[in-house]
Amino acid sequence: MKNESTVVERIVTTTDSGTLSRYWIISAMVGLLFSSVTGLLVSLERIDLSAANIFSTADEVFQFWSAHRVSLVLIAVLPLMIGLATLVVPRQVGASRLVFPKMSAFSFWIWLFGALIIIIGFLANGGVGTPDAGSESQSVALTFVGVLLAIVGLCGASASLLTTIVAGRIPGLALLEIPAFSWSVLIAGTMWIATLPVLAANVVLIYVDMRGREPVNFGSEQVAWEQISWAFTHPQVYLWVLPLLGVVAEIISAAFKGKPSNALLAISIGLMGLAGFGAYAQTYFDLGTPVFEEAFSIIHAFVAIPYVLFFIAVIASVVVKNRKQFDKRAITPIVLAALSIVFLFQGVIVGALHVIGPLELATRSTVTSQIVLTLGAGVLAFMAAFAWWGELLTGKSISQQKVLITGIIFHLGVGLFAIADLLVGFTGQNDFTGASEFAAGTDSSNWGDALNIISLIGSSLFMVGVISAVAVGCQHAFSKTPAEGNPWDLETLEWTLGEKEEVA
């Protein structure tokens, strides 16, 4: 008699791309919720910088401040992009399954284990070190182990996606003819694999130096964050959300029944991938700043602006030429996609402001503004994608109105959060405020206090938007209304090819 597998065995051993996609997305939404909570607590602390109120010390403030950024990238936004790609990419290239499906499944579980360790490390008085070395060193080491595991999982999943695009396409589909989203994943995944190992190398240096004896250099708590901060700020954050360009292009092309030039679209996405390469931007290893390095940094910061404008122009040409053919059913994904690209454009502008020396914004709260705008754009793009491809993900009918309301709430939260942090940066407030006016670098003006309150409101709406997204996702997952099958009446591969069972 054949032994039937248990529920747990089926959950752990599945290699089905649709199931793995749901695993990634559900886990990432929990990570996004964790990140939003940490961001809200830090915003609450900033309301009164005369002393530590929410937290007991400045080191605890730093732990939650850094937890917000690390989790937003490694546990939320990047896994959301990978989860979406795991669902859509095989369908778009006509593959029956992901290439290396077992590696893809193993990568998810490695990442999930690492993500849990990261969260535990932060909550156990660890994190990525603290300015005054007031954290628990064992927990700090644990956190870095979690970061390393998360990187391994993300790289493995990216490699599977890239191989699927390059080697798993149906015969006759040229690489430059693949859909925009798959092309954006190809560029993004290539750059992720080029930069994530650099972050892993930073983590290994820190971990090895901090274990077993007094740190010589890299493993000192006071400098640990400085060595990895490049991965969570300008320009590297553009890479984490690069697939949003593919999402926007897919939705607008289909909704307006037009197709932009493949060559121009491919070039614009590729250029943005180059603009987002940030592994070189490691100030900890600077030996002074030669003129040519400073010039390169300035050029690299500003080129992202014309690259985004180039992409917008390519997409706008479709809208202008086919505006009379607009499918009104696509209102929700179109609005969310448009808000996403607007946030990205604002993010690259704020990023460029950082390199203007006289403004002295490189260490101010404007850094937070740029991060929130850019990563918020990625989350909005995911919401647009959920409105567009959600029926493929859940197998149930999607309520466009609920997704739109959720997206608008999140948009307002990101907007208020980012604008307030941008403006308060001009008043002199530092990126990390600590728990004192001295550390914050602000004169505690009425403007600064008011802007910090607005930032708190934005952070609160950010969290409300995430909670609403989780609630909407759960509602659709348990809905009894089946999917329509092809709600947009499209003839592209992801809609015309039926669900395919993948063999473990």
Residue 181 has pLDDT above 90, yes or no: yes
- At 63-95, the pLDDT tens digits run 999 999 999 999 999 999 999 999 999 999 988
DSSP string, 311-352: HHHHHHHHHHHTGGG--GGGHHHHHHHHHHHHHHHHHHHHHH
Instruction: Provide mean pLDDT across the span 459-482.
Output: 89
* The predicted structure's pLDDT at residue 496: 78
Instruction: Provide mean pLDDT across the span 172-200.
Output: 94
- Give dist(CA 178, CA 173) in Å, integer: 7
Helix (H) or strand (E) holding 67: helix 58-70
Structure tokens of 139? 């927990």
**Mean pLDDT across the chain:** 88
- Which position has the higher pLDDT, 352 or 442? 352
* The predicted structure's pLDDT at residue 10: 81
pTM of the model: 0.93
* The predicted structure's pLDDT at residue 461: 96
| Interacting residues of 229 by C-beta distance below 8 A, sequence separation 6+ | none
Instruction: Provide mean pLDDT across the span 397-403.
Output: 90
- Tell me what percent of the residues of the chain surpass a pLDDT of 90: 58
- At 254-266, the pLDDT tens digits run 999 988 888 999 9
- At 375-384, the pLDDT tens digits run 999 999 999 9
Which DSSP category does 485 fall into?
S
From the list 392, 490, 387, the residue with the least C-alpha distance to 18 is 392
Residue 17 has pLDDT above 70, yes or no: yes
CB neighbours of residue 480 within 10 Å: 6
Q: Using 50, 70 and 90 to split pLDDT, how confident is the model at 121?
A: very high
What SS3 state is found at 258?
Answer: coil
From the list 416, 403, 409, 405, the residue with the least C-alpha distance to 459 is 416
Residue 97 has pLDDT above 90, yes or no: no
DSSP string, 412-426: HHHHHHHHHHHHHHH
Residue 368 has pLDDT above 90, yes or no: yes
Structure tokens of 400? 């466009």
- At 288-298, the pLDDT tens digits run 554 445 555 67
- Phi, psi angles (nearest 5°) of residue 364: -95, 180
- Phi, psi angles (nearest 5°) of residue 215: -60, 140
Residue written as token pair 């994608």: 385
Residue 53 has pLDDT above 80, yes or no: no
Residue 1 has pLDDT above 80, yes or no: no
Q: How far apart are the first and last CA of the chain?
A: 21
Q: Using 50, 70 and 90 to split pLDDT, how confident is the model at 499?
A: very low
From the list 279, 329, 267, 318, the residue with the least C-alpha distance to 490 is 329
Residue 154 has pLDDT above 90, yes or no: yes
Residue 366 has pLDDT above 70, yes or no: yes
Give the domain ranges of the chain.
Answer: 13-495
Instruction: Provide mean pLDDT across the span 350-374.
Output: 88
Residue 470 has pLDDT above 80, yes or no: yes
- Give dist(CA 465, CA 500) in Å, integer: 33
13-495 has which fold? Cytochrome C Oxidase; Chain A (1.20.210)
* The predicted structure's pLDDT at residue 221: 85
**181 with 246: CB under 8 angstroms?**
yes
Q: ∠ CA 408-375-333 to the nearest 5 degrees?
A: 40
Residue 502 has pLDDT above 80, yes or no: no
Amino acid in the structure at residue 32? L
| Interacting residues of 286 by C-beta distance below 8 A, sequence separation 6+ | 293
Among 288-302, 303-317, 416-430, the least confident range:
288-302
455-467 per-residue burial string, b: 16 or more CB within 10 A, e: under 16:
bbbbbbbbbbbbb
Q: Using 50, 70 and 90 to split pLDDT, how confident is the model at 500?
A: very low
Structure tokens of 326? 């607009």
- Which position has the higher pLDDT, 253 or 214? 253
- Tell me what percent of the residues of the chain surpass a pLDDT of 70: 93
Q: Using 50, 70 and 90 to split pLDDT, how confident is the model at 286?
A: low
